[in-house]
Structure 1
Amino acid sequence: MVNLDRYKDMFDGLNAKNQGAFVPFVMVGDPDIQTSVNIIKALVEGGADALELGFPYSDPIADGPTIQKASLRALSHKIKTTDCFAIIRQVRDAYPAIPIGLLLYSNLVLKRGIETFYQDAAKAGVDSILIADVPLREAERFITVANSVGIKQILIAPPNASEETLAHIGQQSQGYTYLLGRAGVTGAETAAATPTHELIEKLTRHKVAPPLLGFGISKPEQVSEAISAGAAGAISGSATVNIIAKYLEQPAEMLKQLKAFVGEMKAATVK
């Protein structure tokens, strides 16, 4: 197994250019397999530094209506986990260097078996996995399997995390740390709160993996604010998925709008 560290390479490259990372999220298989491949490629062509990808799930408790609908669209086309990995393999073949992360729910992993899921993810070219409904205290078994196959288990830093929690994240985090912009479910409708310098300083003190701010990021100025506060970059999900939903009947326009959106968000990462 080749020991790649695409996240380190990405952050090193961005730091050299004095930029933060912009990471869009989309649901794999939304609305169908070929369009999904085209969408993900459009994100990369638009300037995404890394990808955060969801797998369709019937009960996405941490997601707002936008991403829930994306799941349902994919499920209506009978998209399965195996299809998702096949899509990711196509993307990985086209873009060997870009970090690819999964953000999903534990039931999808447990249904396939933790070892099997992580092995399949590694074979598809996945760099990291974040399981939204697994709290830090229950993450150990996932971290162990992730380490065994060369995948980074991404951990969440909530805005009100205790020193003890941050210390634990510092010991275990790899790749990047998902910094919650606010509590609640995902959605572009409710803006992220810019993290305080104090929180970022705490994260730095505990040597956590570089923090990316997620939840409620939909505008370039929010990306700029996150980076000014010391975050290593920002993740935008619902705003990206909203574009897909808006142009479902106009696939060419959808891809054009996605590229433009990513370009605008990426431009805001310059420090």
Structure 2
Amino acid sequence: MNKRITEAFANGKAFIPFLTCGDPSLEVTEQLVYAMEEAGADLIELGIPFSDPTAEGTVIQEANVRALAGGVTTDKVFAMVEKIRKNTKIPMVFMTYANVVFSYGTERFIKKAAEVGMDGLILPDVPFEEKEEFDVVCKQYGLDLISLIAPTSHERIAMIAKEAEGFVYCVSSLGVTGMRTSITTDIGAMVKLVKAQKDIPCAVGFGISTPEQAKKMADQSDGAIVGSAIVKLCGAYGKDCVPKVKAYVKEMKDAIR
């Protein structure tokens, strides 16, 4: 298990923000990472833009389109991470799609991600039953392949939890990412099923946008993951989004402390 990811959960509840790399620009993404760390983020998810992000709602889809239109490539994201790693050791994981990894070359991608200092990889479109070809390579290079469990996983939760690395990403709601007015899933029950199999942190994502929701989810798990609400700020404020995002992350982290 990656040491840095374990450390992200060592000081109480973890707050995990998500960014789409290159929206509004890779320079701003780099500044956002530092600002979010200063505001209390414990681990950061970096989304590598993809033309068909099936798990994403409109907010993140549009951010992917903007980033790709701005010329973001996987290699440019790797170069940005290399720069970030000269200035911070905050745990970071990539969130992207199988196609992005495949087209780059699975081993080439994972080896490069490890070399530039990434700690893990989340592939929301790869089901547990098909993770082997990625998992083997991730283990080889010391990257944690993060497993997702959904409210519909039921009897698969135990199976997924047994082999999970890093942390378990608990999907709070069915459907795609995006802000929701209320989250009704019994997160506590999902987390219990995971912990019965393995002592591994569980963080909840999909649909969290307010401090109240973050607190409620973190109370039942080891941390909260927020993407769309942050990406929405990046879309609304463009190159001036850094102070807005920093203030938002601080508010969310304070809520779950």
TM-score (norm 2): 0.95
Partner of 2:196: 205
Structure 2 Cα separation of the partners of residues 236 and 20 of structure 1? 14
2:54 match: secondary structure: coil
Secondary structure of 1:24's match? strand
Counterpart for residue 124 of structure 2: 132
Offset of 1:83 from its aligned partner? 0.3
Q: Which of 123-132 and 85-94 deviates more?
A: 85-94
Query: Counterpart in 1 of 2:28?
Result: 35
The corresponding residue for 1:81 is: 74
Residue 155 of structure 1: which of 135, 139, 147 is its match?
Answer: 147
Say whether 1:95 aligns with 2:88.
yes
Mind listing any 5+ residue stretches in structure 1 that lack a counterpart? none
Pick from 181, 194, 208: which aligns with 2:172? 181
Matched with 2:6 is 8
Pairing partner for 2:137 from 145, 151, 168: 145
The percent of aligned pairs where both chains have the same amino acid is 35
Residue type of the alignment partner of 2:47: G
What's the CA shift for 1:167? 2.2
Distance verdict in 2 for CA 1:56–1:145, change over 3 Å? same
In structure 1, how many angstroms separate the alpha carbons of the residues matched to 2:100 and 2:210?
Answer: 31
Residue matched to 1:266: 253
Residue 230 of structure 2: aligned partner = 240
Q: Distance in 1 between matches of 2:166 and 2:243?
A: 30
| C-alpha RMSD of matched pairs (Å) | 1.5
- Structure 2 gaps of 5+ residues are none
Question: Comparing 63-72 with 168-177, which one deviates more in the overlay?
Answer: 168-177
Q: 1:87 to 1:138 in 2, by over 3 A?
A: same
**AA in 2 matched with 1:267:** D
Give, in angstroms, the shift of residue 4 of structure 1: 5.4
Residue 190 of structure 1: CA displacement? 5.3
Moved more, 30-39 or 44-53: 30-39
Counterpart AA for 1:74: A
Q: Is the 8 A contact 1:170 1:208 kept in 2?
A: no
* Distance in 2 between residues matched to 1:234 and 1:47, nearest whole Å: 13
Q: Find the aligned partners of 2:26 and 2:187 in 1 and give their Cα distance.
A: 40
Residue of structure 2 in register with 1:119 after alignment: 111
Letter in 2 for 1:39: L
